[in-house]
Amino acid sequence: MKSIAAFFTIVTFIVPSLFAQLSSTPDTYKTENGVLTVHPINHGTVAFTFEGKTIILDPYGGADKFSGLEAPDLILITDIHGDHLNSETISGLDTKNTTFIVPQAVADRMNEELQNQIVVIANEESTTQMGIQVTGVAMYNLPDDENSRHKKGRGNGYIINFGGKKVYLSGDTEDIPEMRNLENIDIAFVCMNLPYTMDIYQAASAVIEFSPNIMYPYHHRGQDVQKFKELMSIGNPEVHVILKDWYPSN
């Protein structure tokens, strides 16, 4: 693994533009099939609207956080922990017409009344639902042993193809080979929070290597994402890092 922390300790300057005001307003991107809108929600939760559909990753924090969105067409869940599989939030949403894409460990813990709406995929498996292709990606801690908070194969990161634009969502992971080996990612959402996933130096090292066009730090409670953006501006300035307010005070 590259020692990016050691490399960046010699850097003493700070890029002034890194300290712009954070916001949680949506962002829009052109695709081959129209506009994709990214809605930062909370912590590790993000929603997308595309072709009249609403797609939510890891709904968490209460159903009121989704009040400006239509009922979800797709819900993707990465892992069994309560900030990813959150039954209270899901039960407050209108999910009667929702398809859930989840790993088996999550399906095993979901409410019985939702079982016929579940599509299970594993790492490296894909499914196409409502015209949107979703591929499972490994997410796990290192070392991958009996003490791991996230064992390999239990959870999924995801790559979603929105009209030819590939969006990667890391879930809870460390700096693993499967992430470093990603190719042609347009937009990435990568976690960074100790002790559950990885620090900003590990995250920056991995993102520098797989080089998405756009990068959103998320699931980063307590981490210095301004410093992460500085590391990226030095290590791979071609990656456009966007900082959002994932932890609003209200």
pLDDT attached to residue 213? 98
What per-residue confidence (pLDDT) applies to 18?
A: 35
Average pLDDT over residues 220-235: 96
Per-residue confidence (pLDDT) for residue 144, from 0 to 100: 73
Instruction: Please tell me the predicted confidence (pLDDT) of residue 12.
Output: 32
Place of tokens 């300290």: 19
The string of pLDDT tens digits covering residues 112-152 is: 999 999 999 999 999 999 999 999 999 999 877 777 778 89
Give the number of other Cβ atoms within 10 Å of residue 18's Cβ.
Answer: 16
Residue 24: per-residue pLDDT: 84
**What integer pLDDT is reported at residue 22 of this predicted model?**
65
Tell me the pLDDT of the chain averaged across its residues.
Answer: 90
In this predicted structure, the answer to whether residue 1 has a pLDDT above a threshold of 50 is no
Spatial contact of 98 and 117, defined as CB atoms under 8 Å apart: yes
Q: How many residues does this entry show for the chain? A: 250
Pairing mode, strands 126-129 and 118-120:
unpaired
**For 55-94, how does the pLDDT look when each residue is reduced to its tens digit (9 = 90+)?**
999 999 999 999 989 999 999 999 999 899 999 999 999 9
Per-residue pLDDT at 184? 98
Q: Do 48 and 38 meet the contact criterion of CB atoms below 8 Å apart?
A: yes
Give residue-wise pLDDT tens across range 161-207: 999 999 999 999 999 999 999 999 999 999 999 888 999 999 999 99
Q: Which of 7-16, 21-30, 81-90, 160-169 has the highest mean pLDDT?
A: 160-169
Q: Predicted confidence band at 249 (pLDDT cuts at 50, 70, 90)?
A: confident
The full set of domains in the chain, from first to last, is 25-241 (3.60.15.10)
Q: Write out pLDDT tens, residues 90-106.
A: 999 999 999 999 999 99
Other CB atoms within 10 Å distance of the CB of residue 127: 14
Q: CA 56, CA 235: separation in Å to the nearest integer? A: 31
